[in-house]
Structure 1
Amino acid sequence: MALFDHSAETYDEWCATPLGSFVDAVEKQMMMEVSEPRPGEKALDIGCGTGIYSLLLASKGIDVTGVDISTAMLKKAREKAEKSQQAITFLEGDIHHLPFADHTFDLVMSNIVLEFVDSPEDVLAEAMRVVKLGGRLTVGMVGKQSEWAAMYEKQGKDKKESVFSGAHFFTMQEIKALYREEPSIIQLGLYIAPDEFVTKEQAYVLERQRSRHGQEEGAGFIVAKWIRKA
């Protein structure tokens, strides 16, 4: 059984809560701003889960393929795509070994996936292999120096069956060292801690105030983009 199989049925429920929908919106805005997806492009969503970003990309006129190792998560992704009438290809497979030729995709995206893989450096190298020359790889990660990472780490320690029990969260320095070249762009956000949230309006005010400083400390979400140069 894959790590997230048992979470498939309830995975999307978090995004329906007030705090979850705020976090989801902040992360999506950051991922889209950094990725700059364009209609007609070919994109790959690695570790696609229930297809949250696959569907978002498809809604923008992009030809999307999603890959995940979890049969249960892919089942939910296919159901959502069918319901929304989006033509997305979902494949079950190990993202350490992608079944695609070199230089296949204009955009490869991965959101909160490297935290759970055996070798994030190998996954990143494999992802870059299938990016076209001049194409982009965008990765979203939980910021290590944040209350979000502290909360997830505590969950992992308290419950050995938690998906976070073996998770690794990244500092900026670690992110820069994941690939032979440093990212062309790193964007930081989600500066509101889980226990600070009251309303979306209040949360957005705090987010705007704190994001101006761009500090790593307190940033719950980090997006990095690499451009394939060779």
Structure 2
Amino acid sequence: MQNAEMIVMEDLRACVKLDIVERLAKMILTNAASEIPVCTADVATTALEATVQCAGQLKFAKNGEEDFAVFVLQDGMAKITSIVLQTMSTYEDYNKASRRYDDQRAAVGSDVMAAMLQFYIGKKLQDLQILDAGCGTGNYAKSLIEHGARQISLLDSSPGMLEKAKDKLSDYIANGTVKDFIEAKMPPLPFSDETFDVVMFNVVLNHLDRGNPEFPNCVNTLKETVRILRPDGFIIVSTMLPSVAHNVMWFTQLNMKLTKRFTDECIPSVEQIEKMFEDAGIQCIQKLSILGSDMYKSYYNLDGPLDESWRATSSYWSFATSEEVAEAVERVKSLKASGEYEQWVKEHDLASSSGFLTIFFCKPRTTDKTIPLPE
């Protein structure tokens, strides 16, 4: 086994997109030549040194997790038949997405968040210790700083997103406004008890679980949030609801079979979110939706679904299989060919009246069922 040959290429984290993984598995199983990245030499060496044989398969662990691949011995060669991913998002490669993320995404609702925090906590933004959990490229952190925040920490599992955030916030790192950049996967939250006044999750929790209607990773992350909050601490959760994908965004209505699969597997409803809060010991004291399409800078680029770089900025398309993307593309082409496309988009776009983003403002649950308003 020590002499078993390995496919040793670049880091797997460069190719976590599921359709690539699927093609890779098929190519290997049919003995086709493959140059798609799989794993690094040191990871492969570790795999051979710590391999456990099980029913003809060889698995290896990294930091206690089956992190990269499952092997099978064929003619003395260890070949990869499937890949197990251990990243924070269950369907998006944010290292890859970080390259184009800021081309499209904006910190929608950050002004409302800044106002609500000060209203409910009764302190100025500059006096609050804030954690941006799942910070991405730092858009929300930057916006809150521009509104007056002076003590903010950022956490994300993607090195690519964190590097973008560091570049964007370099001046604020230098003057001490940004306290920490933490690379970590949630849950848990790697902080001491009662560290922060505010923890915010902006379009993050929908990435932590897939195919489990109980959303256990979300619940455990929220429980951790309660632990690291100071007394009178505040939690912000922003998300897109299933109804938005089904009825509001025009491009998610191009392939409704894909959209139903996406929302069923990944996007919690209001009822499921409220159940998460209950299970985590949290109560929502206010929720609201932000009208308009400002979250996506080129939302009304009607040729966007035909453009891979446009699709790359939305995790909806990353979730889709190549076949599902092709169906949506064909739908666009068919509507354009019939001259119906612009009218179809108008009929299926409700962004201005319904909006994309719903924000939940929450506190750890107290024995008193009512939250007093500040004097």
> TM-score range with shorter-chain normalisation?
0.7 to 0.9
Which residue number in structure 1 is paired with residue 96 of structure 2?
A: 6
SS at match of 1:222: strand
Mapped to 2, the partners of 1:90 and 1:224 lie a distance apart of 25
Which residue number in structure 1 is paired with residue 151 of structure 2?
A: 63
Which residue number in structure 1 is paired with residue 275 of structure 2?
A: 177
2:357 to 203, 221, 226: 221
Range moving further from structure 2, 147-156 or 94-103: 147-156
Which residue number in structure 2 is paired with residue 200 of structure 1?
A: none
Letter in 2 for 1:44: L
Which residue number in structure 1 is paired with residue 252 of structure 2?
A: 151
Say which one has the larger Rg: 2
SS at match of 1:132: strand
Distance change in 2, residues 1:57/1:186 (3 Å): same
Residues 185 and 225, structure 1, Cα contact 8 Å, conserved in 2: yes
Percent identity between matched residues is 22
Letter in 1 for 2:290: G
1:229 Cα deviation from its structure 2 partner: 4.9
SS at match of 1:98: coil
1:13 Cα deviation from its structure 2 partner: 0.6
Runs (5+) with no aligned partner, structure 2: 1-12, 14-86, 88-92, 119-123, 210-216, 303-350, 367-375
Mapped pair 1:80 → 2:171: no
Which residue number in structure 2 is paired with residue 202 of structure 1?
A: none
Letter in 2 for 1:133: P
1:138 Cα deviation from its structure 2 partner: 0.4
1:142 Cα deviation from its structure 2 partner: 0.6
Mapped to 1, the partners of 2:256 and 2:288 lie a distance apart of 26
Letter in 1 for 2:222: L
Mapped pair 1:188 → 2:324: no
Runs (5+) with no aligned partner, structure 1: 16-23, 159-163, 198-205, 211-217
SS at match of 2:362: strand
Which residue number in structure 2 is paired with residue 43 of structure 1?
A: 130
Residues 34 and 223, structure 1, Cα contact 8 Å, conserved in 2: no
SS at match of 2:284: coil
Mapped to 2, the partners of 1:25 and 1:176 lie a distance apart of 24
Structure 1 stretches of 4+ moved >6 Å: 164-167
1:113 Cα deviation from its structure 2 partner: 0.2
Letter in 1 for 2:188: H
Letter in 1 for 2:183: E
Which residue number in structure 1 is paired with residue 71 of structure 2?
A: none
Mapped to 1, the partners of 2:138 and 2:195 lie a distance apart of 20
How do 1:104-143 residues align onto structure 2 when only pairs under 5 Å count? 104-118=195-209, 119-143=217-241
1:29 to 106, 111, 125: 111
- Backbone CA RMSD of aligned residues: 3.3
The higher relative CO (CA closer than 8 Å, separation ≥ 6) is in: 1
Q: Deviations over 1:66-124 (max 9, x none)?
A: 00000010011111111565631211011211111111101111100011113211222
Distance change in 2, residues 1:156/1:142 (3 Å): farther
Using structure 1 for the length normalisation, give the TM-score: 0.74
Letter in 1 for 2:269: T
Using structure 2 for the length normalisation, give the TM-score: 0.47
Residues 69 and 94, structure 1, Cα contact 8 Å, conserved in 2: yes
SS at match of 1:227: strand
Mapped to 2, the partners of 1:48 and 1:12 lie a distance apart of 13
1:170 Cα deviation from its structure 2 partner: 2.8
